[in-house]
């Protein structure tokens, strides 16, 4: 396991960051699948390639924000969010949605998660978001605690009939 980092920079992702960001995103997908394989599908045999294509599209979307935590040339974390329009079915006005946040395993508990979430909120706020929504797996208690610690409150429970 890597040593905890003390120096990192949160910045907007560039094309060269996408392989590392996609690898972290694939780790997040696989973690969700392990938590509840009936709910969270793997969707592809090559998640990294699919996510890399997806993130490349997001880099071109002015409504989207893709961030990385750069620890001296190593990508230690990745986050993705975007502005979302009013959603009548969810009874939710326009908002900033945080889709993905992941810190590399050996880089956790060094302030990277807090910093990348704060920057993501700031970037979305600059683009006009006044409220922020995210979803986290019910069985991911660590994520629920992390987001609660940073001001997010539970407002909806997704339920699945199997």
pLDDT of 1 reads 40
Could you give phi then psi for residue 76, rounded to 5 degrees?
A: -95, -15
Could you give phi then psi for residue 84, rounded to 5 degrees?
A: -125, 145
Global confidence as pTM: 0.92
pLDDT of 6 reads 65
Delimit the domains of the chain by residue range. 9-133
pLDDT of 148 reads 96
Task: Write the burial class of residue 66 (CB in 10 Å: 0-12 exposed, 13-18 middle, 19+ buried).
Answer: buried
Would you give per-residue pLDDT tens digits along the chain (162 residues)? 444 556 899 999 999 999 999 999 999 999 999 999 999 999 889 999 999 999 999 999 999 999 999 998 899 999 999 999 999 999 999 999 999 999 998 788 878 999 999 999 999 999 999 999 999 999 999 999 999 999 999 999 989 898
Query: Is 19 within 8 Å of 55 (Cβ atoms)?
Result: no
Structure tokens at 57: 């599209």
* C-alpha dist (Å) from residue 64 to 12, 69, 80, 97, 118: 11, 17, 7, 9, 15
CA distance 54 to 66: 11
CA distance 54 to 93: 25
Structure tokens at 140: 């991911």
Structure tokens at 38: 């009936």
Q: Provide CATH code, domain 9-133.
A: 3.40.630.30
Query: Is 127 within 8 Å of 65 (Cβ atoms)?
Result: yes
């Amino acid at each position: 396991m890597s040593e905890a980092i003390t120096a990192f920079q949160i910045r907007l992702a560039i094309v060269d960051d996408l392989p590392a960001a996609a690898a972290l995103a694939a780790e997040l997908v696989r973690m969700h699948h392990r938590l509840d394989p009936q709910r969270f599908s793997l969707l592809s045999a090559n998640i990294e390639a699919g996510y890399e294509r997806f993130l490349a599209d997001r880099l071109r979307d002015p409504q989207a924000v893709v961030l990385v935590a750069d620890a001296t040339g190593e990508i230690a974390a990745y986050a993705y969010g975007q502005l979302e329009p009013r959603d009548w079915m969810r009874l939710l006005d326009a908002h900033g949605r945080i889709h993905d946040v992941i810190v590399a395993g050996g880089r956790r508990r060094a302030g990277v998660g807090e910093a990348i979430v704060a920057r993501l909120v700031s970037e979305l706020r600059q683009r006009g978001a006044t409220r922020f929504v995210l979803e986290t797996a019910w069985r991911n208690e660590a994520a629920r605690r992390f987001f609660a610690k940073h001001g997010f409150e539970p407002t909806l429970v997704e339920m699945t009939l199997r």
